[in-house]
Amino acid sequence: MSQADPKERYAQQMDGESADQNWVMVPVPPDRVLDVMRFLAGPPAEAAGTSAGSGDTSGHQTQAETNPDSWDQDSLRQLVASAPMKQVRLLELLASRAPNEVTAGELREHLVESADLNAARSGRALGAVMKAIGLRSKYYGGRNPPFRDVKPWTPELGNRYVMPKSNAEPILEAVSQRLNDDR
């Protein structure tokens, strides 16, 4: 029964008798369904050069995966076009200040002002947005985000980030386009 009717397959899954063990039901918030579909339409993790399932146990990443300069303009535009607004606003500030450093405090303030965040929870929200950008960046050939954190960390400045100038222009263009489209 390899070509079961979708309704029949659904009924079988509900009964716990799935004829096709390659399908699982996953709850997805309605506003994230398109993100999941885009992710699934992308290259598999093995093809993207990640070590998960690829047989590569060395743990080494390629230059393209770790270097924020490795992004092409089309991928940067797609990143902005598909990202939730909090991520777009964070990329916007980093791009507008490129190639200068931006502190985590400045990013939090920007998110509070532009993305309607609660100031008391802005630190936690910033962490979540940074993590989400990191995960979203992996959709594009296993890359790291189009910016990097500045080392070493200092107690006076905290975490700092910098975006290469080569990434800033396409991101700012895509942000402008996105904001115009959302109006």
Q: Which residues contact 24 (CB under 8 A, 6 or more apart)?
A: none
- Mention the CATH class of domain 64-183: mainly alpha
pLDDT at site 43: 64
End-to-end CA separation in angstroms for the chain: 49
pLDDT of residue 69: 66
Residue spans per domain, the chain: 64-183
CB atoms within 10 A of CB 90: 26
For 120-168, write each residue's pLDDT tens digit. 778 888 889 999 999 999 988 889 999 999 988 888 888 999 999 999 9
Give dist(CA 28, CA 48) in Å, integer: 24
* Alpha-helix runs per DSSP H in 20-156: 33-41, 63-66, 73-82, 85-97, 104-114, 122-137
pLDDT of residue 60: 37
pLDDT of 119 reads: 75
pLDDT number for residue 65: 41
Counting Cβ atoms within 10 Å, is residue 117 exposed (0-12), middle (13-18) or buried (19+)?
buried
Q: Which residues of the chain, if any, have pLDDT below 70?
A: 1-23, 42-69, 183
